[in-house]
């Protein structure tokens, strides 16, 4: 993301610039469907967080990263007066693009939205939705309109117990053993060790920047390129002020590691994890990740989003890959035929994603072989293959945000 893509003006925590009273369309706000033309009602930000708990559906995020156009519209669906779905969208010509992403939707939600859009805008023939979350089940849902689908990397999410003390017991035997051993080893070797958590609004910017710096060092240590510019650091600081839960690990009062999480609705997303490479042999990354997840439970989260990247440690901490995908919904079969380029691009994206997924699975297989090789169980050829494929992954497959959480667990 370039510097031009980030807009920080007007952001003060979660307080957004107030707009004029929104104009509701054909139904009033007590009706089942409301559409606000060129307006975002004041209640939408909090409701998006409550409904989806996803960073990519957060109004704060969309404004910071300049994803909203001046003519952005809001679709709000209610059931018995309760809001059940919200889509922010822009219309251009014969296309509607939904701006919020990462929502967990049913076919009924999507069909209701498509019906309202096609009825309101006779010229619209296609609706684009990105990164829908289908959970751990099938990504197929029924729609009353023709549609095409393509895949995208799914986040790894852990369902959390209601009580923090139950979280450790929910993990596997070896994971519990490793966490306890690493924590004991750290405290015995460094009696001054502390790990404290702070609200993002009150956390020290110096501490957050130190965690970011450690993350940069750690990524370089593992051979990953670090692409976060100062503008993106500023954007992260703004998000942290709005949603942040910051974990700061210290030894002798000096920051040696930490985490930056974002609690949105009932979901906490792990944005950054980092530790000083000097403590690689103490399992500090795993300890920080475990306590960040535990702190999320204390603060009322029901899920922890480890972001995309199916790393073994995420499974160890209870994460499961969510199936995510893109959808193009067409008004009719005729609309499909009228836009063959869109159809071909969607098919191409699906095929490319399948190839990438296969390569990522091969990487995970070779990583397991690498772990066995360290125990003298496999040949060196697997390690050479792993290094070659990792170079491809670093340049084409992984996003910086994913690597920031993935690279710091040793």
Q: Does pLDDT of 67 surpass 90?
A: yes
Q: pTM for the whole thing? A: 0.79
Q: Return the structure tokens found at 265.
A: 């609705």
**Lowest-confidence pick of 69-78, 82-91, 280-289, 370-379:** 370-379
Q: Do 95 and 204 fall into the same domain?
A: no
Strands 155-159 and 194-199: unpaired
Q: Do 208 and 300 fall into the same domain?
A: yes
**Which comes out higher in pLDDT, residue 138 or 113?**
113
Q: Do 312 and 171 fall into the same domain?
A: yes
Q: Do 267 and 360 fall into the same domain?
A: no
Q: Does pLDDT of 407 surpass 50?
A: no
Within-domain flag for 237: yes
Q: Do 163 and 285 fall into the same domain?
A: yes
Q: Do 184 and 40 fall into the same domain?
A: no
Within-domain flag for 343: no
Model pLDDT, residue 311? 76
Within-domain flag for 348: no
**Lowest-confidence pick of 123-127, 207-211, 347-351, 361-365:** 347-351
Summarize the confidence of residues 19-26 as an average pLDDT. Answer: 40
- 289/207 Cα distance (integer angstroms): 17
Secondary structure (DSSP) of 4-69:
GG---TT-BTTBPPP-SPPPB-SS-TTSSEEEETT---TTHHHHHHHHH--GGG-HHHHHHTT---
Q: Do 140 and 185 fall into the same domain?
A: no
Within-domain flag for 63: yes
DSSP state of 153: P
Q: Does pLDDT of 185 surpass 70?
A: yes
Q: Does pLDDT of 48 surpass 80?
A: yes
Residue 68 makes CB contacts below 8 A (sequence gap 6+) with 40, 62, 88, 99
- 139/147 Cα distance (integer angstroms): 13
| Helices and strands (DSSP H and E) totals, the chain | 13, 14
Summarize the confidence of residues 259-280 as an average pLDDT. Answer: 95
Q: Does pLDDT of 19 surpass 60?
A: no
Model pLDDT, residue 300? 97
pLDDT digits (tens, 9 = 90+) for 148-179: 887 777 899 999 999 999 999 999 999 999 99
Domain enclosing residue 299, as ranges: 157-321
pLDDT bracket for residue 225 (50, 70, 90): low
pLDDT bracket for residue 20 (50, 70, 90): very low
Burial 36-50 (b: 16+ CB within 10 A, else e): beebbbeebbebbbe
User: Measured at the alpha carbon of residue 308, what is the angle toward residues 306 and 311, in degrees to the nearest 5?
Assistant: 75
Domain count of the chain? 3
Residue 377 makes CB contacts below 8 A (sequence gap 6+) with none
Model pLDDT, residue 4? 38
Exposure of 216 in the CB half-sphere (CA atoms within 13 A)? 12
Chosen domain end from 338, 367, 387: 338
Within-domain flag for 347: no
**Lowest-confidence pick of 52-66, 126-140, 229-243, 322-336:** 126-140
Q: Do 233 and 137 fall into the same domain?
A: no
**Lowest-confidence pick of 2-11, 228-237, 361-370:** 2-11
Chosen domain end from 281, 303, 338: 338
- The CATH number that applies at residue 292 is 3.40.630.30
225 class by beta-carbon count within 10 Å (0-12 exposed, 13-18 middle, 19+ buried) = exposed
Q: Do 187 and 238 fall into the same domain?
A: yes
**Which comes out higher in pLDDT, residue 367 or 155?**
155
Within-domain flag for 251: yes
Q: Do 306 and 203 fall into the same domain?
A: yes
Walk across the sheet containing 95-98 and list its strands: 33-36, 73-79, 82-92, 95-98, 126-133, 324-330, 147-152
Rounded to a whole number of angstroms, the CA Rg of the chain reads 23
Q: Do 209 and 283 fall into the same domain?
A: yes
């Amino acid at each position: 993301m370039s510097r031009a893509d980030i807009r920080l003006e007007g952001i003060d925590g979660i307080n957004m610039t107030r707009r004029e009273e929104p104009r509701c369309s054909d139904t009033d706000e007590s009706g089942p469907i409301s559409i606000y033309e060129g307006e975002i009602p004041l209640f939408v930000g909090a409701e998006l967080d409550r409904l989806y708990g996803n960073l990519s559906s957060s109004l704060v995020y969309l404004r910071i990263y300049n994803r909203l156009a001046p003519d952005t519209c809001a679709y709000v669906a209610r059931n018995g007066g309760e809001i059940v779905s919200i889509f922010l969208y822009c219309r251009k010509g014969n296309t509607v693009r939904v701006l919020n992403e990462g929502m967990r939707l049913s076919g009924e939600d999507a069909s209701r939205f498509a019906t309202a859009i096609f009825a309101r805008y006779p010229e619209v023939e296609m609706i684009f939705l990105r990164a829908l979350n289908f959970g751990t089940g099938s990504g197929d849902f029924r729609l009353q309109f023709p549609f095409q689908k393509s895949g995208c990397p799914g986040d790894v999410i852990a369902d959390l117990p209601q009580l923090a003390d139950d979280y450790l017991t929910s993990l596997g035997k070896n994971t519990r053993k490793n966490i306890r051993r690493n924590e004991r080893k750290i405290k015995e070797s460094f009696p001054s060790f502390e790990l404290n958590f702070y609200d993002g609004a009150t956390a020290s910017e110096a501490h957050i920047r130190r965690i970011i710096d450690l993350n940069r060092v750690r990524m370089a240590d593992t051979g990953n390129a670090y692409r976060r510019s100062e503008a993106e650091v500023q954007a992260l600081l703004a998000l942290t002020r709005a949603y942040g839960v910051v974990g700061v690990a210290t030894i002798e009062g000096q920051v040696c590691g930490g985490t930056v999480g974002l609690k949105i609705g009932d979901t906490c997303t792990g944005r950054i994890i980092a530790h000083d490479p000097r403590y690689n042999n103490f399992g500090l990354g795993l300890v920080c990740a475990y306590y960040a997840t535990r702190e999320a439970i204390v603060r009322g989260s029901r899920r922890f989003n480890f972001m995309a990247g199916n790393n073994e440690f995420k499974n160890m901490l209870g994460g499961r890959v969510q199936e995510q995908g893109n959808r193009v919904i067409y008004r009719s079969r005729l609309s499909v035929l009228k836009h063959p380029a869109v159809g071909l691009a969607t098919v191409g994206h699906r095929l490319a994603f399948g190839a990438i997924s296969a390569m990522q699975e091969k990487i995970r297989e070779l990583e397991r072989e690498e772990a066995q090789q360290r125990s003298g169980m496999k040949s060196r050829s697997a390690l050479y293959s792993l290094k070659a494929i990792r170079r491809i992954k670093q340049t084409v497959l992984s996003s910086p945000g994913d690597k920031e959480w993935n690279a710091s667990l040793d």
